[in-house]
A and B are shown apart, each in its own frame.
Chain A
């Protein structure tokens, strides 16, 4: 488990994906895992008329004290991108200097850094699509992204996420999703601070 960029005591996470990739479920899993280990957390989808393929966002706040704000997250500490075809202007918007970008891609960190114009952030890459196709046989990448997230950000240990996901997905998909998480946990690559 990695470093914790908790600013002002609240860690703010923004998820970007497309309808059907499971960004909202991933955000819910973060909140449930954080609450499971005694932290305070919120998870909220960016609310709209949901449809498959449309860009979606979800937000998390995690803290050791109660969270009062119900505002959208405009300056996230962590941005998680489930679909690298989304426009970078969208997901980089407002990310804090030194913040963490975790992106689902087959590219290397250097390639991503170049593509994004060398921003002042840490970049982490994981091939969540490849992992999901192997474990689930379908490109639902949220659990792989959660596994990578668990490795990089101090919210809860991987086994807590595994328990949470076991409650959130249908029974017959539990083991394949847990496999996704574990592979991503072990294969995510991140820049040094």
Chain B
């Protein structure tokens, strides 16, 4: 797509991340929306319902009886060629789980917003990333945003990537439930959505068509299944490239640049803190404070969870000797229990970088700048003793570890 893009005119507004999703969905002109209410996702659908009711969006809004049905409904609509959207959190995402695999296996360009939330039991309506991390192997492209601005932009990018013929995979855009979903902050959105619609032209793909019938999601015996699954492996690889291309286009059109992993004060850093979502802002604040105290520390934000940006992360980690990965989810019984830390480990091992996995913010336990500083001090203590624990550090758990 070699054409020069004009920077579009934008207006500055204050929205929460859920409403930023709704505006992005409006601006890409979706055809079918289906979702079931669950905290903290609900206000996305409230806003979209309002937009459909007052004619801002020309879409079918399907009321369904569960999240399993919500995703199934958009699977059907997408198979028939519609541009679709759904959203959920927590148990809703769990109830969708089997359909997540069907959506990606049928290669449907579905886009879903996931304001993340802890999992039951016990019930917690508050934030962590347990729900999202459970979708790791579903073959969905997964972006984790850190600001409402990035949430808006990522939904647009999600459609650009999902519908690319080299990809044809569904995309999840995740962000902190409550801490972002319900927090108002400034962002820029285009004054005229037609500029956005030009970014997501309607493209041909094989769909259900009575004039040209096809069969989707058929049974495949052992002679066929493996090759069809390998297509998904390649599509995920292609997604890395298409994410890069579309990031470049978005930068040209909207003026905002996103990298699969983003470094903060990494130039001279020896120690880096890697995290994702809204916590990155607090980590940046903490990095500034710790730097004032004389430690060469930097921060890395993971934006692109699937496909995992191994090359880009390798590049960012080139000059550090220790990486602290703060996860807000637990992989129970794993060697180290932070899901992202596990992913960073093989890269760090090749480079001889020490990995410390830290669990924090579970069920939205508050993480302040001083918690980040405490985590860094604890890691420095371990390094002084020459100990790299082969387990995670559970920051702030009452009663100690």
12 inter-chain pairs at a CB distance below 8 angstroms, sorted by A residue, are A34-B14, A35-B12, A36-B14, A41-B14, A44-B184, A47-B178, A68-B282, A70-B176, A70-B180, A70-B279, A70-B282, A71-B282
Smallest CB separation, B23 vs chain A (Å): 15
Among the interface residues B125, B186, B285, which one has the most CB atoms of the partner chain A within 10 A? B186
Give a binary string over A45-76; 1 marks a CB under 8 Å from any B CB, 0 the rest: 10111000000000000000001111110100
Contacts A44-B179, A47-B182, A68-B281 given; indicate if A32 touches B369 (C-beta within 8 A). no
Please determine whether A70 and B278 come into contact, CB atoms closer than 8 angstroms. yes
Whether, in the assembled complex, B364 has its beta carbon less than 8 Å from a beta carbon of chain A, the answer is yes
Chain B contacts to A: CB under 8 angstroms: 12-14, 40, 125-126, 176, 178-180, 182-186, 278-282, 284-285, 364, 366-369
Further contacts, 11 of them, CB under 8 A, given A35-B12, A43-B184:
A31-B185, A32-B184, A35-B186, A38-B12, A41-B184, A43-B183, A44-B184, A47-B182, A47-B364, A68-B284, A71-B369
The secondary-structure label for the interface of chain A is: mixed
Chain A contacts to B: CB under 8 angstroms: 27-28, 31-32, 34-36, 38, 40-45, 47-49, 67-72, 74
Smallest CB separation, A101 vs chain B (Å): 23
The secondary-structure label for the interface of chain B is: mixed
**Interfacial chain B residues near A44, Cβ < 8 Å:** 178-179, 182-184
Residue on A nearest B40 in the bound complex, by CB: A47
Among the interface residues B12, B40, B125, B281, which one has the most CB atoms of the partner chain A within 10 A? B281
Residue on A nearest B39 in the bound complex, by CB: A49
Please determine whether A67 and B185 come into contact, CB atoms closer than 8 angstroms. yes
The 9 closest A-B pairs by CB, nearest first: A68-B281, A44-B183, A47-B178, A35-B14, A43-B184, A31-B184, A35-B186, A32-B14, A70-B278
Cα-based distance from A35 to B285 in the complex (angstroms): 22
**Interfacial chain A residues near B178, Cβ < 8 Å:** 44, 47
